[in-house]
Amino acid sequence: MAIERILLGHGSGGLLSHELIRDLFLFHFHNPVLAPMADAAILEALPPGRPALTTDSYVVQPLFFPGGNIGDLAVCGTVNDLAVMGARPLYLTAGFILEEGLPYSVLERVVISMAETARRAGVLIVTGDTKVVDRGAADGLFINTAGLGVVPPHVDLGPHRLSPGDVLLVNGTLGDHGLAVMMQREGMHFGSGLQSDTAPLNGLVDALLTALPGQVHAMRDATRGGLVTVLNEWSEVASIGIELTETAIPVREEVRAACEFLGLDPLYAANEGKIVVAVDFTAAEAALEILHAHPLGEQAAIIGSVTTSHPGHVVLETPYGARRIIQMLTGAQLPRIC
């Protein structure tokens, strides 16, 4: 009999659990590592380099939004966290907290999306877990993921490598994800087809690192807290100053208009397909060309630089020539966006 909704019995460990795992998760995520359905994934020996491990949980509402859903968001977010460390993502885990009464069709759409995104990113989902909680206890569906990758021996990225003169780039427009999710949640429209930028960025990152060995100094994905949070963390950790040119930062007009209407700042809005890259000043133009040549970097731009002035602070030059310090976000500008 076809499953219409998730029941508490699907988390019991019995027949219903077995059928859910076999007919849904194993069917769509199928690969040789997952196939034995064991208590742990037995992995092949990792390539040379340093293992990188990350974990994240996803509680976004609504579950589906323009340009994505909680499933592909979970895969992309985990892949990107590894990629910006210079790691080549290899394996993911997936844990599901399901609410009693969740339509099976909703869960199936999410799982199919995760499987397709994992294939696009070149990673395997190799183990997981499913729990079912009482109706009203999980807001439909929560997902936890972990990701394992390997940093090649020659790669070293992080704020410790930032140097005065380094040039800062982003691979495209900012704020798309946060505003797309919020407008879907609140039923708002600004006369456009604004979509989340959710995407796996490991291919783009690999193109940069391969073409510019040693010249890429640091990378971060600008998720919760947006661009400003990333740069404030860098300036604090590395005790350097950062200067930005506001007019150089790419923001879609519909995002800018929505932010002005709602009293928000797109530089703090979340992204799920955007990275901030710091490169040696001699490689800035080459990095920009590499980004422009990739489908996920066509709107890339140089937005600022690292300086010895005002260490620990990020300074923004406005369109009017004024300069102001922009600090880390306090509180949640847009809650439940990932």
Q: What is the pLDDT of residues 129-152, one digit of tens each?
A: 999 999 999 999 999 999 999 999
CATH class of the region 8-151: alpha beta
Q: Domain limits of the chain?
A: 8-151, 159-325
Q: Cα–chain-centroid distance for residue 172?
A: 14
Q: What is the pLDDT of residues 63-93, one digit of tens each?
A: 999 999 999 999 999 999 999 999 999 999 9
Residue 2, pLDDT score:
78
Rounded CA separation 86/241 (Å): 24
Residue 319 carries which DSSP code? T
Rounded CA separation 309/296 (Å): 33
C-alpha Rg value of the chain to the nearest Å? 21
Contact (Cβ atoms closer than 8 angstroms) between residue 67 and residue 180? yes
Contact (Cβ atoms closer than 8 angstroms) between residue 92 and residue 138? no
Q: In what side-by-side order are the strands of the sheet with 124-133?
A: 50-58, 141-151, 88-99, 124-133
Q: What tokens does 179 get?
A: 């505003």
Q: Measuring CA to CA, which residue among 79, 63, 74 is closest to residue 143?
A: 74
Residue 54 exposure: Cα atoms within 13 Å on the Cβ side: 24
Q: Measuring CA to CA, which residue among 105, 132, 95 is closest to residue 24?
A: 105
Rounded CA separation 254/190 (Å): 7
Q: Measuring CA to CA, which residue among 283, 304, 167 is closest to residue 228?
A: 304
Q: What is the pLDDT of residues 260-314, one digit of tens each?
A: 988 899 999 999 999 999 999 999 999 999 999 999 999 999 999 999 999 999 9
Q: What tokens does 140 get?
A: 């439909």
pLDDT band at residue 330 under the 50/70/90 scheme:
confident
Q: Measuring CA to CA, which residue among 281, 273, 261 is closest to residue 299?
A: 273
Residue 333, pLDDT score:
73
Q: Is 244 exposed, middle or buried (0-12, 13-18, 19+ CB in 10 A)?
A: buried
CATH of domain 159-325: 3.90.650.10
The residue whose two tokens read 């589906």 is: 64
- From residue 306, alpha-carbon distances to 58, 241, 244 in Å are 33, 6, 9
